Structure 1
């Protein structure tokens, strides 16, 4: 795919901002507008995550809490069903929180490159380090969905465009920093846990994208590793 920026520069590759995929929930009731009375296969786990009474039974209050979570993060259908997608998002959040301030504990992101932006696809986290020193992060990110995976390996920031616009999707991509054939860091107005993911870019909140813009420059290294859940 191609992205033609507002400055007429052709960029090869696929980027982000796709409508949330309607998710098949197996035995979930086919209700689009109302809260479901059926319990899901991850009822207890979801109840515990949301601070609800953990009894494994769906109540009206349970459904309302689950549905609010689904609406906040763009999980569809938002009917309050404790299914695999909803639990998968919650489980990922817990794993991200457990990382704390030591995202490179396993040493997978190079520490001999000086300043480098790291992207852990497995945990959907990114951070900037300088040698072994953590400079910023870790922050949650939204990477490429199945079929549009964010490519792994050692890259370099090769082009920056603070007001980039994708004509392919007719969307703004503020604070774009391209590092691999059209794949870039940039901000989006979506939850970082909004499924199924981007078209290859590393989506960030506006706050984090602005910080990355201030900390990185053309030629800086980017290292992407791991595998996004579901890809």
Structure 2
């Protein structure tokens, strides 16, 4: 009876180890299965952007690369599908890169204000200029989503807080520089390309928000123009 009890205990112990391994295997299989085999409407553009073989046909390696991009920039669903949202982010990145060091080439941000922070909602970029001289940028930004748009027009920085806590969104807003109501420049710890957008603020990467903090001061001008895609 003692031997039988011992064998039963050992068998039960082995079973308890097998179950978690089965669950892990099932979970891994489900994760792999979530990578779509479907060819998206923007397959060729996405393949070219990511440096993949441009054949317009979805492959396992295509899906893996597309899904990695989607996860980095919080694009949902992150199943590796070359759809309009994913391509929209990539297309915006291409347009931002094409601006180079001439963000105010069209002259839409005032050059008669001295030092001013400019925000182009259409291209989702911002920069600081002094007259016609480019001081810093351009840098990619994330502005207000549909229904919470970043307001356009001439503004001024009226309040600065290096470690602001948002009582609305319950998040930290480091390097906050407010220029219109509750709207401010501030850093975020997520991708500035992640859709659909902010709650109205101009989100920036930490290093660039820090640079804005050092270059701007209370009373400096801000000018916002254009229209964010999708709003």
- Using structure 1 for the length normalisation, give the TM-score: 0.86
Moved more, 33-42 or 190-199: 33-42
2:183 equivalent in structure 1? 183
Change (3 A) 1:33 1:104: farther
In the aligned structure 1, how far is the partner of 2:190 from the partner of 2:222?
23
In the aligned structure 2, how far is the partner of 1:74 from the partner of 1:192?
10
Instruction: Check conservation: 1:117, 1:223, Cα contact below 8 A.
Output: yes
Q: Which has the larger radius of gyration?
A: 2
Structure 2 gaps, min length 5: 1-30
In the aligned structure 2, how far is the partner of 1:176 from the partner of 1:169?
14
In the aligned structure 1, how far is the partner of 2:135 from the partner of 2:164?
26
Task: Note the alpha carbon deviations across 1:33-71, whole angstroms, 9 max, x for none.
Answer: 710000110001101111111111000000000000000
Question: 1:32 offset after TM fit, Å?
Answer: 10
| Superposed structure 1 runs of 4+ greater than 6 Å apart | none
Question: 1:137 offset after TM fit, Å?
Answer: 0.2
> Does residue 97 of structure 2 align to residue 102 of structure 1?
no
Structure 1 gaps, min length 5: 1-30
Query: Which has the larger share of helix?
Result: 2
- Using structure 2 for the length normalisation, give the TM-score: 0.86
Secondary structure of the structure 1 residue equivalent to 2:162: strand
In the aligned structure 1, how far is the partner of 2:142 from the partner of 2:156?
19
Task: Note the alpha carbon deviations across 1:97-123, whole angstroms, 9 max, x for none.
Answer: 000001000000000000000000000
Q: CA RMSD in A?
A: 1.1
1:25 equivalent in structure 2? none
2:161 equivalent in structure 1? 161
In the aligned structure 2, how far is the partner of 1:59 from the partner of 1:143?
34
Q: In the TM superposition, what are the counterparts of 1:107-146 in structure 2 within 5 Å?
A: 107-146=107-146
Question: 1:182 offset after TM fit, Å?
Answer: 0.7
2:75 equivalent in structure 1? 75
